[in-house]
Structure 1
Amino acid sequence: MTQPIIAPHTGDTPLKKTRRSTPGDPFSAAEHAHYESLRTTDIALEGDPDLPPDGAQRWSTWADTPPMQRGPEPLPDWVITATGAVDHELGVLKTGKEADVHLIERAIPHANDSTLMASKRYRTSDHSLFHRSNDYTVARGVKKSREKRALERKSRFGRELAAGRWANAEFAALCLCYEEGIAVPYPVQVHGRELIMEYIGDERQCAPRLADLAMTPERAEALWEQVDDNVELLAHTGYAHGDLSAYNIVVDENDDILFVDLPQIVDVYANPKGFEFLNRDIDNIGRWFISKGLDPEAVEECRARVMAVV
């Protein structure tokens, strides 16, 4: 997993949703160029065929996104829905085996309104270095026979469809969690293989992962309480994260945690291995916190409460 890098904002309009500030750019020009070369380049970034203004890469895709593929209402006040808005790409936040996360700025040209968002772009299997186990997708059916055949045959259409399904699965998971009060970034929209969500960070750097933080036993205990609460809330809805670890929890400037990377969310009732995934989530994140000084009894208390609600 690479360290996050982003390009500094160069526009004249103020930016919304800034949560964490880290002075200075720790990366050299060569490092920026290296990570730029890792960007996902096969995703369509096309909106209106007319060239967008102000050097933007595309027109906003909000108007092209069906209502069912937009985030839960009421929309946060920082979400820009104007049809004349444009998207500027500011750099790479994270590269991964199955998707890249980019920083984009959505702005209304010649208006004092812009916002930063994270754009997660899933690769097709042609470019992905990771293939999820079928254990995660049990009980996720495909109704249309053409789509089912394409997925089974792994045709070009099938590969594109599979990538889009993961983007839609993560969007649906984020919507579910957000509406249930679970700490996740707000899901703005999903469009093809691209999932756009709330950006946690500022114009210099995104919020750090839990695994990257300096930790004391006292801080570990305080953060564990939040993780415990959110694991229990998620279980109460009938789901497990499916891959919970210190690498897919981020911590904002207020030391508040958020769960990220949710495409593999598991229905603990419909999936035959659902309870196994739930226990594994508690084991994995519990071991990490115990290594940072947490009392092991706290993990077992969490397990007992979680199993009592599912």
Structure 2
Amino acid sequence: MEDLQEIIASFGEKEITITVGDIVKTGKEAIVYKAYLNNELTALKVYKDYNTRAFTDNKGYIAGKYIKKPSLRKATMKKTKVGKDFIHEGWVKREYVMLNRLFSKGCSIPKPIASVKTAILMEFIGNEAKTAPKLKDAILNASQAQTTFELIVENMKKFLDVGVVHADLSEFNILWWKEKPYIIDFPQSIDVKENTNAESLLLRDVNNVCKYFSKYIEINETEVYESLKHILDDFVIYGRNPNFN
């Protein structure tokens, strides 16, 4: 993993001066720190090196046309050093692009601020005293669960409106703060027009979300999936959701 001082210096080259505080979360793919930009609390997500990250299944990612150059696609499949370096740096860039794409459409995600080679600076969900808990750790009543579930499905529709499937959505990467869900972790998200696994990945997201909320409320999973798949099919056919402005 790139040294923190090198990351701070890289932001400095973009005239973004940050100071880094305590670790907020250590995950399978990245470490998140408190960071301060003009005395404002933000989150700094620093990716672990490819070889130390738990995420190793690149098939869904490689299936897309994101990797245009055949030699790079081959290198990533064989996991050569060139391929690993490309995936490592591309994962960060990919997440930042997706965050901007979705935030601009009003999705409930942390606001992206800036990125460098191996890190992303974004809005901090929580405050100085408390980091927003993951949804899996939140305790909801039935009313909160119903509202939160509907908000998450609405966000999944917004993702599809711009041709995106999260592809790893569950209670583990949704934060809960001030009665509102914030969806996080987008490096594995996919463009539905460039990935042949879009339908199966959408179904998996729906399964995960419905399974979690079914302990609180009654859910017709088939109905939820069909409402989302309709948007997916429109996007694949028309290149956009014809009902989305």
Which residue in the other structure is 1:304 paired with?
226
Matching of residue 295 in structure 1 with residue 218 in structure 2? yes
8 Å CA contact retained: 1:124, 1:162: no
Which residue of the other structure, out of 202, 224, 228, is the alignment partner of 2:149? Answer: 224
Following superposition, the deviation at residue 131 of structure 1 comes to 1.1
Which residue in the other structure is 1:89 paired with?
20
Alignment partner of 1:232: what SS? helix
Matching of residue 119 in structure 1 with residue 44 in structure 2? yes
Matching of residue 276 in structure 1 with residue 228 in structure 2? no
Which residue of the other structure, out of 20, 25, 29, is the alignment partner of 1:98? Answer: 29
Match for 1:138: what amino acid? A
Alignment partner of 2:171: what SS? coil
Higher relative contact order (CA 8 A, sep 6+): 1
Following superposition, the deviation at residue 146 of structure 1 comes to 7.5
8 Å CA contact retained: 2:11, 2:18: no
Q: Distance in 2 between matches of 1:58 and 1:231?
A: 34
Alignment partner of 1:247: what SS? helix
Match for 1:45: what amino acid? L
Following superposition, the deviation at residue 307 of structure 1 comes to 1.9
Return 5+ residue gaps in structure 2 as ranges: 233-245
Which residue of the other structure, out of 187, 192, 209, is the alignment partner of 2:112? Answer: 187
Which residue in the other structure is 2:241 paired with?
none
Q: CA RMSD in A?
A: 2.4
8 Å CA contact retained: 1:238, 1:267: yes
Following superposition, the deviation at residue 242 of structure 1 comes to 0.3
Alignment partner of 1:251: what SS? strand
Considering only CA atoms, is the larger Rg found in Structure 1 or Structure 2? 1
- The runs of at least 4 aligned residues of structure 1 exceeding 6 Å deviation read none
Distance 1:140 1:189, change over 3 A: farther
Q: Which has the higher helix share?
A: 2
Using the aligned pairs only, state the percent identity. Answer: 24
Per-residue CA deviations over 1:17-59 (Å, capped at 9, x if unaligned) read xxxxxxxxxxxxxxxxxxxxxxxxx313346xxxxxxxxx945
Which residue in the other structure is 1:72 paired with?
none
8 Å CA contact retained: 2:170, 2:208: yes
Following superposition, the deviation at residue 154 of structure 1 comes to 4.4
8 Å CA contact retained: 2:89, 2:117: yes
- Alignment length (residue pairs): 232
Which residue of the other structure, out of 49, 57, 64, is the alignment partner of 2:13? Answer: 64
8 Å CA contact retained: 1:124, 1:159: no
Matching of residue 205 in structure 1 with residue 164 in structure 2? no
Per-residue CA deviations over 1:264-302 (Å, capped at 9, x if unaligned) read 11223321121111111111101110112x1223x4433
Alignment partner of 1:126: what SS? helix
Match for 1:266: what amino acid? I
Which residue of the other structure, out of 239, 243, 247, is the alignment partner of 2:168? Answer: 243
Per-residue CA deviations over 1:54-87 (Å, capped at 9, x if unaligned) read xxx945x44534xxxxxxxxxxxxxxxxx3x642
Return 5+ residue gaps in structure 1 as ranges: 1-41, 48-56, 66-82, 108-113
Correspondence list, 1:247-266, <5 A: 247-253=172-178, 255-266=179-190
Distance 1:152 1:304, change over 3 A: closer
Alignment partner of 1:177: what SS? helix
TM-score (norm. length: structure 1):
0.68
Matching of residue 162 in structure 1 with residue 121 in structure 2? no
8 Å CA contact retained: 2:62, 2:73: no
8 Å CA contact retained: 1:89, 1:102: yes
Which residue in the other structure is 1:50 paired with?
none
